Amino acid sequence: MVENTLRVSVIGLLLAFAFALSACGGPATNTAPANTKPAVETKPSKATFLAVGDIMLSRGVARLIDREGELAPFNSMADVFRSTDFNFGNFETPVSGNDTRVGKGLVFNTRKKDVEGLVKYNFKIVGLANNHALDQGEAGLRHTMAFLPGKGIEYVGVGETPEEAWKGKIITANGIKIGFIAASYSSYNDNGSRRNPFVARIEDVELMRNSIQRLRDEGCQFVVATMHAGIEYTRRPHQPQIDFARAAIDNGADIVIGGHPHWIQTTEVYRGKYIFYSLGNFIFDQRKPDTMEGLMLKVTVAHDGGVNVEKTARLDRVELMPVIVERFGAPRSATPAESAAILRKIGINDPVISPK
Ligand SMILES: [Zn+2]
């Protein structure tokens, strides 16, 4: 009985399908010209996100958390985090799952509970392509890749294969699809000498090109290329950073944002697109003066709307917001005087960029 009923309904479905096919695929009986597309109206929209520098929830930051709680590294910036649609940062520590480790020397680990600040303050996506991705081995990286999405945090820059590591992810905010990719100068903390399949590398231009193309094919309207590269404690980018950033723009990225040098670095406009070579530290426990300053970007992306308009969105505004890292891991907004002094170091007078 059950079988018969099933057969009858399958036949019914097939007939309905055949009818639907003939209705739209048969000889044209409607009067509209075949090549007229229906008018699609898009409403104007804007989306805003923060991009912050390096976040290291380990070592001295773990001690800060032990003293003041999981949210201590984030709390001073709560209002700023809440002023956007979502936030992005480079997350420089694996979450290995082994919470007895708090990171020591140059081998980092984040305890599972210590990601609460990222969750609470709307970090919907993080970059994991950095020189500490494998600090807790392959098992540590795999745990990180399984754990973060479970907390509502997407990641870019790592995977089981180079293609997977290069796969971009899209965050949709107010109807605008913003894609992210991430790549690093190094796969381990060894200055880039050994490679592994897990970390996207800045020299993989071909993979980057495919990745951006795939994002566009998926309807992505604005591409953010992020990189972890540069020489530590320097103010200007070196050639591999410049090569990556320009190649990203040549291949369709709309903005390039970097980190790793622990200092903020100069910016560049290339073919009308902005490159921020290094945002410096954001949550980090270093103690030398310039490492206790960072740059946060408040990025606004706009789609102007209209009828049958192109799908791409544009950069509407970038606000450069310097931060001061206190208590070895708790950034706060810099005062106007501090901001001006920090921005002067990279030759910037006006903290607001509004491209034409
Ligand atoms: Zn780094």
pLDDT tens across 206-215, in order?
999 999 999 9
- 35 CA to centre of ligand 1 in angstroms: 53
Tell me the per-residue pLDDT of 184-240, one tens digit each, with 9 for 90 and over. Answer: 999 888 888 888 999 999 999 999 999 999 999 999 999 999 999 999 999 999 999
- 133 CA to centre of ligand 1 in angstroms: 9
Confidence of residue 37 (pLDDT cuts 50, 70, 90): confident
State the residue for tokens 């231009």. 205
- 171 CA to centre of ligand 1 in angstroms: 24
Helix, strand or coil, per DSSP, at residue 191? coil
- 354 CA to centre of ligand 1 in angstroms: 30
- 291 CA to centre of ligand 1 in angstroms: 13
Residue 305, token pair as written in the block: 């709307």
- 294 CA to centre of ligand 1 in angstroms: 14
Neighbours of 200 (CB within 10 A): 29
- 186 CA to centre of ligand 1 in angstroms: 9
- 343 CA to centre of ligand 1 in angstroms: 22
Query: Which amino acid type is present at position 342?
Result: I
Q: How far apart are CA 237 and CA 265, in angstroms?
A: 7
CA 62 from centre of chain: 24
Please, what is the Cα angle at 67 between 63 and 72, to 5 degrees?
85
- 260 CA to centre of ligand 1 in angstroms: 4
Residue 61 in contact with residue 329, Cβ under 8 Å? yes
Say what angle helices 239-250 and 205-217 make with each other, to 10 degrees: 30
Average pLDDT, stretch 116-136? Answer: 97
Confidence of residue 35 (pLDDT cuts 50, 70, 90): low
- 143 CA to centre of ligand 1 in angstroms: 20
Q: How far apart are CA 329 and CA 331, in angstroms?
A: 6
In the sheet that holds 176-184, the strands lie side by side as 169-173, 176-184, 222-228, 255-259, 273-276, 267-270
41 has a pLDDT exceeding 90:
no
Residue 304, token pair as written in the block: 């102007």
For residue 34, what pLDDT is reported?
57
Residue 155 in contact with residue 126, Cβ under 8 Å? yes
In angstroms, the first-to-last Cα distance of the chain is 69
- 302 CA to centre of ligand 1 in angstroms: 31
Helix, strand or coil, per DSSP, at residue 343? helix
Confidence of residue 33 (pLDDT cuts 50, 70, 90): low
- 228 CA to centre of ligand 1 in angstroms: 6
> Does an H or E element contain 353, and which?
strand 352-353
- 92 CA to centre of ligand 1 in angstroms: 7
> What is the residue-averaged pLDDT of the chain?
91
State the residue for tokens 């970038």. 318
- 239 CA to centre of ligand 1 in angstroms: 17
For residue 71, what pLDDT is reported?
97
Q: How far apart are CA 246 and CA 273, in angstroms?
A: 9
- 332 CA to centre of ligand 1 in angstroms: 21
For residue 310, what pLDDT is reported?
76
- 222 CA to centre of ligand 1 in angstroms: 26
Helix, strand or coil, per DSSP, at residue 187? coil
- 132 CA to centre of ligand 1 in angstroms: 7
Neighbours of 67 (CB within 10 A): 8
- 351 CA to centre of ligand 1 in angstroms: 26
- 232 CA to centre of ligand 1 in angstroms: 8
- 277 CA to centre of ligand 1 in angstroms: 13
State the residue for tokens 């079988």. 3
Q: Up-side HSE of residue 319: CA atoms within 13 Å toward CB?
A: 12
- 188 CA to centre of ligand 1 in angstroms: 10
Question: Model's pTM, two decimal places?
Answer: 0.88
- 322 CA to centre of ligand 1 in angstroms: 19
246 has a pLDDT exceeding 90:
yes
Fold of 43-305+327-353: Purple Acid Phosphatase; chain A, domain 2 (3.60.21)
Q: How far apart are CA 147 and CA 114, in angstroms?
A: 12
